[in-house]
């Protein structure tokens, strides 16, 4: 299958590759998805470990159970994205827009969410401590 990853503003092709999955394109071609337009994309179970998704548009994207370990999501737009069960350990979500995002079951250990907008985000009660730490809050017991 032929994949093209384009800049969302200029429509310029950033990466063009023949692969079976988007995962193969990103990992095998070391593609940068910086500023990529991935609105409503189906990225369930995608391995995007270490991917550069800085300023990517992932509004309403389905990322359930995706691996975003140490991914760069600086200022990414994840408005109403489905992030259930996503592995975000060590991910950088500085100033990311997570309004209305579903983060139930997401692993946030070591993630940096400083400056992120989490208004209306959905989490489980057992995720509160990890979320507070990711936001830079110091918890003393």
Which residue segments constitute the domains of the chain, with CATH numbers given?
1-141 (2.160.20.80)
pLDDT tens sequence across 39-93: 999 999 888 888 899 999 999 999 999 999 999 999 999 999 999 999 999 999 9
Distance separating alpha carbons of residues 64 and 81, to the nearest angstrom: 9
Q: DSSP assignment of 107-124, as one string?
A: B-TT-B-TT-B-TT-B--
Percent helix, strand, coil in the chain, to 5, is: 10, 20, 65
Query: Taking 80 as the threshold, does the pLDDT of residue 133 lie above it?
Result: yes
Predicted confidence at residue 27, as pLDDT, reads 61
Predicted confidence at residue 3, as pLDDT, reads 76
Whether the CB-CB separation of 70 and 50 falls below 8 Å is answered with: yes
pLDDT tens sequence across 18-28: 777 776 666 65
pTM of the model: 0.78
Predicted confidence at residue 130, as pLDDT, reads 86
Band of pLDDT at residue 30, cut at 50, 70 and 90: low
pLDDT, mean over the chain: 87
Predicted confidence at residue 31, as pLDDT, reads 59
Alpha carbon dihedral 73, 77, 80, 84, in 10-degree steps, equals -10
Q: Provide the b/e sequence for 60-73 (b: ≥16 CB within 10 Å).
A: bbbbbbbbbbbbbb
Q: How many CB atoms lie within 10 A of CB 80?
A: 19
């Amino acid at each position: 299958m032929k994949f093209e990853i384009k800049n969302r503003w200029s429509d310029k092709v950033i990466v063009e590759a023949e692969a079976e999955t988007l995962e193969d394109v990103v990992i095998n071609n070391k593609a940068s998805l910086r500023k990529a337009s991935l609105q409503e994309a189906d990225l369930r179970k995608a391995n995007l470990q270490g991917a550069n998704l800085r300023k990517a548009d992932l509004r309403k994207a389905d990322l359930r159970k995706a691996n975003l370990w140490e991914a760069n999501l600086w200022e990414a737009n994840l408005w109403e994205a489905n992030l259930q069960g996503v592995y975000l350990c060590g991910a950088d979500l500085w100033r990311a827009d997570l309004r209305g995002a579903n983060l139930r079951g997401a692993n946030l250990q070591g993630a940096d969410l400083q400056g992120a907008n989490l208004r209306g985000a959905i989490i489980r009660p057992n995720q509160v401590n990890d979320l507070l730490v990711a936001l830079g809050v110091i918890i003393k017991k």
